[in-house]
Amino acid sequence: MAILPILKYPDPRLRQISKPVTAFDEELAALALDLRETMINAPGSGLAAPQVDQPLRIIVVDDTGEDEAYGEKVLTLINPKIVAAEGEQIYKEGCLSVVELQSDVRRSAEVTVEAQDVSGQKFVVTASGRKAVILQHEIDHLDGVLFLDRISRLKKEMYRKKLLKTQKMAKNT
Ligand SMILES: [Zn+2]
């Protein structure tokens, strides 16, 4: 297992459309474990394979229950697809690829997701609240979409400017 480096916005590789997984082999199982370890190490609520420069449709999602320790339960979804969505919620999101920004994002309140496990077995997850947010956020990554694309243009522009300034300052020191 390994902790993989996470790409940071505005890296263009975050905009790639990830390819469906077709080989359910040892390599896939190893990548899924690395994603899990990388997410827990960060620590984060979810991680998508393109964030570690592997443009494949794989996501991991923190599934810790109220009385459980973080990292105990992580869902791995291969080729996840939202098949049903209902209602609306606004939730403050952040992203391991978007440093120092948290912002309210409007998403579906409940989603049903079809996916496969590392052996190719199909399963269905229905989630609401935080878990529904993470699933939608991570599946967005597979299509090159960041939560930044779902906030106001003004907020996004302010963030870009702030980021440029920080990068300039880092170069000068
Ligand atoms: Zn993210």
Measure 46 CA to ligand 1 centroid, in angstroms.
Answer: 7
Residue 4 lies in a domain: no
Q: Are 61 and 45 in contact (CB under 8 A)?
A: yes
Residue range of the domain that includes 23:
12-172
Residue 119 lies in a domain: yes
**91's tokens:** 């939730």
Residue 29 lies in a domain: yes
Query: pLDDT value at position 173?
Result: 66
Residue 133 lies in a domain: yes
Query: pLDDT value at position 168?
Result: 83
Measure 9 CA to ligand 1 centroid, in angstroms.
Answer: 10
The pLDDT mean for the chain works out to: 95
Query: pLDDT value at position 28?
Result: 98
CA 31, chain centre distance (Å): 15
3-state secondary structure labels for all residues of the chain: CCCCCCCCCCCHHHHCCCECCCCCCHHHHHHHHHHHHHHHHCCCCEEEHHHHCCCECEEEEECCCCCCCCCCCEEEEEEEEEEEEECCEEEEEEECCEEEEEEEEEECCEEEEEEECCCCCEEEEEEEHHHHHHHHHHHHHHCCCCHHHHCCHHHHHHHHHHHHHHHHHHHHC
Residue 1 lies in a domain: no
Question: Which sequence positions are flagged as catalytic?
Answer: 138
Residue 153 lies in a domain: yes
Residue matched to tokens 């399963």: 123
pLDDT in tens, 118-136: 999 999 999 999 999 999 9
Measure 147 CA to ligand 1 centroid, in angstroms.
Answer: 7
Please tell me which of 71-75, 142-146, 169-173 the model is most confident about, judged by mean pLDDT: 142-146
Question: What is the reported pTM?
Answer: 0.95
pLDDT in tens, 20-66: 999 999 999 999 999 999 999 999 999 999 999 999 999 999 999 88
pLDDT in tens, 65-122: 888 999 889 999 999 999 999 999 999 999 999 999 999 999 999 999 999 999 999 9
Measure 122 CA to ligand 1 centroid, in angstroms.
Answer: 24
3-state secondary structure labels for all residues of 82-114: EEEEECCEEEEEEECCEEEEEEEEEECCEEEEE
- Considering its fold, how many domains does the chain have in total? 1
Residue matched to tokens 């190893």: 30
Measure 50 CA to ligand 1 centroid, in angstroms.
Answer: 10
Q: Kindly list the protein residues that place their beta carbon closer than 5 angstroms to ligand 1, a single-atom ion.
A: 95
Query: pLDDT value at position 40?
Result: 97
Measure 82 CA to ligand 1 centroid, in angstroms.
Answer: 17
**56's tokens:** 């494949």
Q: What is the CATH number of the domain that holds 93?
A: 3.90.45.10
Residue 168 lies in a domain: yes
Residue 7 lies in a domain: no
